[in-house]
């Protein structure tokens, strides 16, 4: 497998693919047509030296991915809300201008990002910590309590992922998630981007955001097991403050995993790949076509596959 540099995510009835500063969102509209929007996103930090610093680049990447993810999800959802909004506006007698729509979307997107971060921190960080305090009544071992807290965090996270996979709408998003991975795996293994080749490719990928989040959960266990203070309030504050650091360290592992076929790295990537069996589903041909359209809008896969073939021929 050869690193391509492209990544993406599933959106509502579509796939977003990003290659450096260029990204594309392909959506299968209600009428069956595939629409593709190509845009540029230059990131939150312009200084290249700061942007590429280890650990920090992971923090920036996480925030930018969250922002871009919400933005592209909002875009894809707009195709399925237009008729409903038009009916509401007719009833109210109010027709919004493009500027007003853009302003409203920006406010909603900012609010969604903020709410998502707060909710995630509350569920996956604060809640396990609060429950772990109960176990302090039965043991004086700080290491044991920290380990129990980490296990609770993992259970809540995996339970959440599994529970939402039962929802029909989320199941379709997971199918598009599978299409995204299969398209990337197809070209990174030197195959032409066709429906048949994509169908044969794996729906698991080491650089997936699911793996990243699981690594965050696992690394947080080790961080909190060896950082001990007596004050309960200060312990909670430290957990919140260390979230960016943990995210940065986790990003470095995912970044390494995406560029390496080392046996140890592959072994450590196994838990994330197993979890992706929950967050991806086998896509149908129509979904694969959407993923392919998104890839082709930002990436010259033909030139890339040709490079792989030349490298392979030179080794022989």
> What are the residue boundaries of the structural domains of the chain, listed by start?
6-309
Give the model's pLDDT for residue 66.
87
DSSP state of 207: T
Residue with more model confidence, 84 or 177: 177
pLDDT at 114 (0 to 100): 77
For residue 232, the model assigns a pLDDT of 87
- Mean residue pLDDT of the chain comes to 88
End-to-end CA distance of the chain: 17
Residue pair 150/239 in contact (Cβ under 8 Å)? The answer is no
Nearby residues of 109 by Cβ (< 8 Å), 6 or more positions away = 67, 70, 71, 74
Token readout for 271 is 């838990």
- Which element (helix H / strand E) includes 138? none
The pTM of this model reads 0.88
- Asked if residue 93 has pLDDT above 60, the reply is no
Mean pLDDT for 141-165 is 92
Specify whether the CB–CB gap between 127 and 156 falls below 8 A.
Answer: yes
Q: Which helix (H) or strand (E) holds 230?
A: none
Whether 56 contacts 248, CB under 8 Å: yes
Provide the pLDDT for residue 189: 93
pLDDT tops 80 at residue 213: yes
User: Are the CB atoms for 253 and 138 separated by under 8 Å?
Assistant: no
Report the percent of the chain where pLDDT is more than 70: 90
- Burial pattern 197-232, b for ≥16 Cβ within 10 A else e, equals bbeebbbbbbbbbbbbbbbbbbbbbebbbeeeeeee
Please give the pLDDT value at position 227: 82
E strand spans, the chain: 6-11, 14-19, 22-28, 34-40
Report residue 23: phi and psi, to 5°: -140, 155
Nearest one of 288, 299, 290, 284 to 34, comparing CA atoms:
290
**DSSP code, position 35:** E
Question: 195 exposed, middle or buried (CB, 10 Å; 0-12, 13-18, 19+)?
Answer: middle
> What is the CA angle 4-75-299, rounded to 5?
20
pLDDT for 150 beyond 90: yes
Confidence label for 104 from pLDDT (cuts 50, 70 and 90) = low
Residue 124 clears pLDDT 80, i.e. is over it:
yes
Cα 38 to the chain's mean position, in Å? 19
Q: Residue 45: what pLDDT?
A: 86
Q: 33 or 100, which is more confident? A: 33
**pLDDT score for 284:** 96
According to DSSP, residue 126 is labeled I
Per-residue pLDDT band for 51 (boundaries 50, 70, 90) equals confident
The per-residue pLDDT for 226 is: 85
| pLDDT reported for residue 85 | 55
Q: Residue 155: CB partners within 8 Å, gap ≥ 6?
A: none
C-alpha to C-alpha distance for 180 and 169, rounded to whole angstroms: 17
DSSP 253-316: HHHHHHH---HHHHHHHHHHHHHHHHH-----HHHHHHHHHHHHHH--HHHHHHHHHHHHHHH-
User: Which range has the top average pLDDT, 43-57, 250-264, 282-296?
Assistant: 282-296
Structure tokens at 279: 């967050």
């Amino acid at each position: 497998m050869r690193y391509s540099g492209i990544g993406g995510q599933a959106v509502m009835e579509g796939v977003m693919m990003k290659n450096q500063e260029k990204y594309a969102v392909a959506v299968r509209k209600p009428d069956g047509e595939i629409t593709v929007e190509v845009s540029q996103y230059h990131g939150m930090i312009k200084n290249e030296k700061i942007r590429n610093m280890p650990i920090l680049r992971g923090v920036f990447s996480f925030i930018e991915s969250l922002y871009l993810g919400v933005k592209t999800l909002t875009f894809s959802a707009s195709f399925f809300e237009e008729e409903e909004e038009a009916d509401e506006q007719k009833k109210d007698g109010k027709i919004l201008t493009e500027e007003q729509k853009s302003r409203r979307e920006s406010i909603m997107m900012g609010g969604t990002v903020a709410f998502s971060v707060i909710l995630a921190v509350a569920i996956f960080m604060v809640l396990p910590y609060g429950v772990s305090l109960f176990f302090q009544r039965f043991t004086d071992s700080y290491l044991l309590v920290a380990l129990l807290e980490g296990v609770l965090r993992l259970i809540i996270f995996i339970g959440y992922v599994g529970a939402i996979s039962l929802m029909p709408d989320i199941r379709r998003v997971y199918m598009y998630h599978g299409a995204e991975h299969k398209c990337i795996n197809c070209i990174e293994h030197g195959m032409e981007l066709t429906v048949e080749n994509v169908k044969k490719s794996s729906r698991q990928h080491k650089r997936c955001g699911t793996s990243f989040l699981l690594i965050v959960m696992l690394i947080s266990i080790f961080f909190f097991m060896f950082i001990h203070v007596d004050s309960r309030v200060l312990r909670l504050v430290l957990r919140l403050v260390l979230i960016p650091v943990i995210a940065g360290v986790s990003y470095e592992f995912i970044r390494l995993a995406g560029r390496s076929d080392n046996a140890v790295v592959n072994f450590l990537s196994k838990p994330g790949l197993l979890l992706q069996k929950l967050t991806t589903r086998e896509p149908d041909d129509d979904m694969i076509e959407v993923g392919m359209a998104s890839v082709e809008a930002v990436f010259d896969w033909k030139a890339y596959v040709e490079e792989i073939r030349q490298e392979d021929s030179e080794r022989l």
